[in-house]
Amino acid sequence: MKKVLFISYFWPPSGKASLHWPLDIIRHLPKNEIEPIILTVKEESFTQKDESLLSKVDPDWITVKSNALEPFNIYRKFIGKKKNEKLIASETISTENKSLAHKISLWIRLNLFIPDARIGWNFTAYRAAKKVYVKEKFDVIVSIGPPHSSHLIGLKLSKKLNLPHIPVLIDPWVDIVYYKNLKRSCITKKIDNHLEKSVLLNAEQVVFVTKSSEDDYLNKYEFLKNKTNVLYWGFDEDDFKNLPLNYRSAESIINKSEKVIVHAGNLFVYQNPKNFWQQIKSQNDSGSNYKIKFIGTVDPIVLDYLKEIGLQDKVETLGFLPYPQMIKQIFAADILLVCASEPRHVPGKLFEALRTGNPVIAFGDDNSEVKRIIESANSGMMFSYNDSCTSFFENFEKIKPDLTLIKSFDRALISKKFFEIIKNLLHKG
């Protein structure tokens, strides 16, 4: 029996989407060969809570929690919010908010918290990990990021204990998409690049959740050759076990007077498919009845645009939903909307959308990976943000997805591949 330390800032009952991958990968590891030890925060104040996810946590797992020094409570006070008032992801990095308080807080976050605002957890997490090592003697370290500051904990432990480290990069590090229009100083970027390079140079293996991210990093760092892996985000079949494994028939779609389009997850201003909204307005003006549902946070600018073109009465914002409820909503949809933020971004919700068997319309500029996945699964169509999408409305009722291919994205299968990475490392050692 080998012991693996998983460093994951987000953990149930947090409802943060990024914890689903490590949670399900760990759940599906062979119990007779791997004993997981989870290192996480005692309490984090940013994300919504989802108590339903606690049912996936095995009570036999060793879970070590330490305090995190988060800046978000200070940020709330600084911008005039109450301590228990939830922050919206898009507002903390908004370039539309011109208030002096927001500008100062944004500059501090971007330039003084390196690599990210969760760096304050590292001090207590490292001490907690060393303490648990004395008793448990784990054999491998796996860190999950974002927050990429978690990888620095893995790096420090790896060097101190002489153990192999596997960083999992769910998103890019120094050039993540939301930095694109934000100002980080040259010194900040230089330090951040040094931290990224140090982690990857020390790593025995690196896991990416998109092929395009792997390619990007291989072009950036030649030393990564022969130690990178792509394990897609996927979905957990257990979340769908009470739902049928078939696509919605064309008849069921055609016969409904109202067709519901659902977007699940955060939708930022740079993911606003204006042409799609205009096409929906045109369809409704011609006698169709399309309704739009948003699950999760939506940038106010997106909602303002929908109001501007006269779709406000056809929009429903459900906010954050517990995961089982979200699954039911996307399964009941007629069309699922997926918006990629950049060429390396394969939205996690894409795989859950594929699993429903419902037609998928995706938007993304120069994103060949999402396009390939959707088309190979015969699950829908992808367009650039400036494209006309009339062809989708002409053809979506005929879509019959390849469910055999889609089932290859089950996290139980992905976990087997992850186990092979760990096993090969242990044999190598």
Which pLDDT score, from 0 to 100, does residue 114 have?
A: 92
Query: What mean pLDDT comes out for the span 232-257?
Result: 70
Which pLDDT score, from 0 to 100, does residue 247 have?
A: 46
Supply the range of the domain harboring residue 201. 2-71+113-234+410-428
Among the listed residues 280, 259, 232, 271, the one whose alpha carbon sits nearest the alpha carbon of residue 377: 232
pLDDT band at 428 (very low <50, low <70, confident <90, very high): confident
How many Cβ atoms from other residues are within 10 Å of residue 30's Cβ? 11
pTM (2 decimals)?
0.91
Measured N-to-C along each axis, helices 368-376 and 349-356 cross at an angle, to the nearest 10 degrees, of 20
Domain shared by 308 and 398, yes or no: yes
Q: 73-77: long-range contacts at Cβ-Cβ below 8 A with a sequence spacing of 24 or more?
A: 73/45, 75/105, 75/109
What is the separation of C-alpha 245 from the centre of its chain, rounded to a whole number of angstroms? 24
89 within domain boundaries? no
88 within domain boundaries? no
Which pLDDT score, from 0 to 100, does residue 111 have?
A: 78
Domain shared by 159 and 184, yes or no: yes
Residues 423, 409: Cα–Cα separation, whole Å: 21
- Angstrom distances, CA of residue 283 to CA of 77, 161, 296, 314, 389: 45, 62, 25, 12, 11
92 within domain boundaries? no
Domain shared by 178 and 319, yes or no: no
Among the listed residues 352, 86, 133, 122, the one whose alpha carbon sits nearest the alpha carbon of residue 232: 352
Domain shared by 387 and 259, yes or no: yes
pLDDT band at 110 (very low <50, low <70, confident <90, very high): confident
Query: What mean pLDDT comes out for the span 192-214?
Result: 98
Residues 286, 359: Cα–Cα separation, whole Å: 21
Domain shared by 230 and 190, yes or no: yes
45 within domain boundaries? yes
Domain shared by 268 and 156, yes or no: no
91 within domain boundaries? no
- Count of domains forming the chain: 2
What does the pLDDT look like over 285-338, one tens digit per residue? Answer: 999 999 999 999 999 999 999 999 999 999 999 999 999 999 999 999 999 999
How many Cβ atoms from other residues are within 10 Å of residue 259's Cβ? 20
What is the separation of C-alpha 96 from the centre of its chain, rounded to a whole number of angstroms? 24
What DSSP letter does each residue of 401-425 carry, written as one string? --HHHHGGGBHHHHHHHHHHHHHHH
85 within domain boundaries? no
Domain shared by 316 and 248, yes or no: yes
276 within domain boundaries? yes
Domain shared by 403 and 414, yes or no: no
Which pLDDT score, from 0 to 100, does residue 81 have?
A: 60
Domain shared by 357 and 210, yes or no: no
Among the listed residues 389, 376, 381, the one whose alpha carbon sits nearest the alpha carbon of residue 362: 381
* pLDDT higher than threshold 60 for residue 78: no
Domain shared by 148 and 13, yes or no: yes
Query: What mean pLDDT comes out for the span 26-39?
Result: 97
What DSSP letter does each residue of 246-311 carry, written as one string? SPPPHHHHHT-SSEEEEEES-B-GGG--HHHHHHHHHHHHTT--EEEEEES-B-HHHHHHHHHTT-
Domain shared by 172 and 302, yes or no: no
Phi, psi of 324 (to 5 degrees): -60, -35
Roughly how many angstroms between the first and final C-alpha of the chain, as a whole number? 15
Q: Are 400 and 246 in contact (CB under 8 A)?
A: no
For residue 52, the SS3 value is helix
Give the domain CATH number at 213. Answer: 3.40.50.2000
What does the pLDDT look like over 352-411, one tens digit per residue? Answer: 999 999 999 999 999 999 999 999 999 999 999 999 899 999 999 899 999 999 999 999
Domain shared by 335 and 378, yes or no: yes
285 within domain boundaries? yes
Residues 272, 229: Cα–Cα separation, whole Å: 31
